Amino acid sequence: MKRKLLATLLCASMVLGLAACGSSAGSDSGATANTSGAGDAQATTTTDDGASTDAAAIDTSEHVKIVYMTTGGAPDPASSQTDEMLEQLNAILTEKVNAELEIYYIDWTDYLANYNLTIAQMDGSIDLIGTASDWLDAWPNAKKGAFLPLTEEMLQTYAPKTWESVSAEHWDLCKYNENIYLMPEDNYAQWTNHGYAYRLDWAKEAGLADGVQSWEDLTTYFKYVKEAYPDVIPWDSDGTQYGQMVGGWITSHSDYVSIDGINSGAMWGGSKDDLYTVYSPYVTDTDSLVAFAEMMKEWDEIGVWKTDVLNNTASDNREDFKIGRVAAEQHHTQTWTDLCSHKEGYTIYDDDEDAETGFFYFGQETGNVVALSITHGAMAVSAASNNPERALMVYDLLRNDPECYALFNYGVKGVSYDINEDGMRFLPEGYNSATDSITTNFWWGRNDDLEIKDATMNWDAIEDLYAEYDSIKIDYPYGQFVPNVDSIQSKIENINEIHTNYMKQIAFGKYSGTAEEIVAEYQEALKSAGIDDVTAELQAQFDALYK
């Protein structure tokens, strides 16, 4: 379906008065097609009073291929069920919208450069683009004209279920220069905030009846493990987690809210009570940094990690946690949801029936939790797509149609997964991941309304923690901020280098002299590199956008 037809349909849609921004609960506005897949499909939208009305006849007589681009390596066609899944999915897509789907994979090697290069070709070879505002250059690509602006009428007509499921406030967060460019993954619970997974049963042995609730409790826990379980390494860090450690400390001891995408250390942001005044706690929160340096020196002296931690490249800490060789793992909540579950090969639960895995999350002491940006995963339509309308129709089905969703996310039932009597998903007998798994990397439209829970997960513990997060979280407030760092890039790079060099020493207690001395030296180096100039420039850009 070509652009001329799209323009005609949009004009017709506006004349007929399609629904304004927002939706009516319970309305059914899905697009339908005749069962032959070779005629006209009738789009249905919802008016302000909740009534359904036929908006335009959508011509689906021409069979088209929609190419979906995603990050991650392609499956081996000789050993994957992905092709079988796509064959079944495409039969459904052909019936409903007379289209078929092809997946184009961007391998993880040099993924960002290759991803942006593929988008920039603008040759019509891709239609749907998985993207993200915080790790896949969504806004820079929108600014360059690589993504198609999506009008309200277009979304209402060709992706009606997606349109009505996303709130007006969330659509606003998907706009650049007043145009919608992204369809957000805003109905999927995932938490990538970091913290420490630890043995809750051992923490209770250490006298921490409620588990680890603070960094001081972590110190108590590590001391106990070192004494009570001498064959266990408290935390076999490979020395790369210094950024998460100090960032977690700051989150736990302040109301700092960092801005994504400026540098790897997330060294600039606002505070919960003053979100749009930019500062860097790395130069302002001196007393807190000194306390952090002192505690990390104590951890080093306790023996929390190996003495060669900064050169430890052989660590396999997460796997060792599963079998009881280490007592903690620093990563995000999603990793903990796996570690706390009694899965095959996690021998800590086989060896000790009392074993439990708790989670101390950064920000726990202060209730400082920021939800993941709704555009951490989002779908865009290529501005060069030859079939943008049909691409939207396919996406609407992948995101909202139960049969399409299950196929695309889980594979063929009975081969890649099955359902138990409790309605949960499990692996069939004889399942072989090398031959029976699928790879779609669909991180741009997952939908909790259609998710099938994994039977191997510890949902009681997971849902308790998620409920705690939901009770204190704030939404990520900077989703529309697109920093222009051209004039300050060299300073940011110098700051990155200084932060890396000093924080490795500070975070693992490997510095000489006192904590006050190393923090003063670090902060002076940051100021000499121009951190105040970067803060001032970011503030000017914030003022232009938010004030």
Give me the pLDDT at residue 78, please.
Answer: 74
Please name the CATH architecture into which domain 194-371+478-487+497-509 falls.
3-Layer(aba) Sandwich (3.40)
pLDDT tens track for 206-225 = 999 999 999 999 999 999 99
Q: Do domains 33-44+59-189+375-410 and 194-371+478-487+497-509 have the same CATH topology?
A: yes
Give me the pLDDT at residue 134, please.
Answer: 85
What is the arithmetic mean of pLDDT over 524-545? Answer: 97
The domain ranges of the chain are 33-44+59-189+375-410, 194-371+478-487+497-509
What is the arithmetic mean of pLDDT over 517-537? Answer: 98
pLDDT tens track for 50-64 = 333 343 478 999 999
Cβ pair 396, 370 in contact under 8 A: no
271 Cβ neighbours under 8 A, 6+ residues apart: 254, 255, 256, 257, 277, 279
Write down the CATH number for the domain with range 33-44+59-189+375-410: 3.40.190.10
Q: Compute the mean pLDDT over every residue in the chain, rounded to the nearest whole number.
A: 90
Confidence of residue 77 (pLDDT cuts 50, 70, 90): confident
pTM confidence score: 0.82
- C-alpha 191/C-alpha 334 separation (Å) is 6
Q: How many CA atoms lie within 13 A of 430 on its CB side?
A: 2
Helix (H) or strand (E) segment spanning residue 57: strand 52-59
pLDDT tens track for 441-499 = 999 999 999 999 999 999 999 999 999 999 999 999 998 888 899 999 999 999 999 99
- C-alpha 90/C-alpha 278 separation (Å) is 49
Say if residue 526 is exposed, middle or buried (CB neighbours under 10 Å; 0-12, 13-18, 19+): buried
159, pLDDT greater than 50: yes
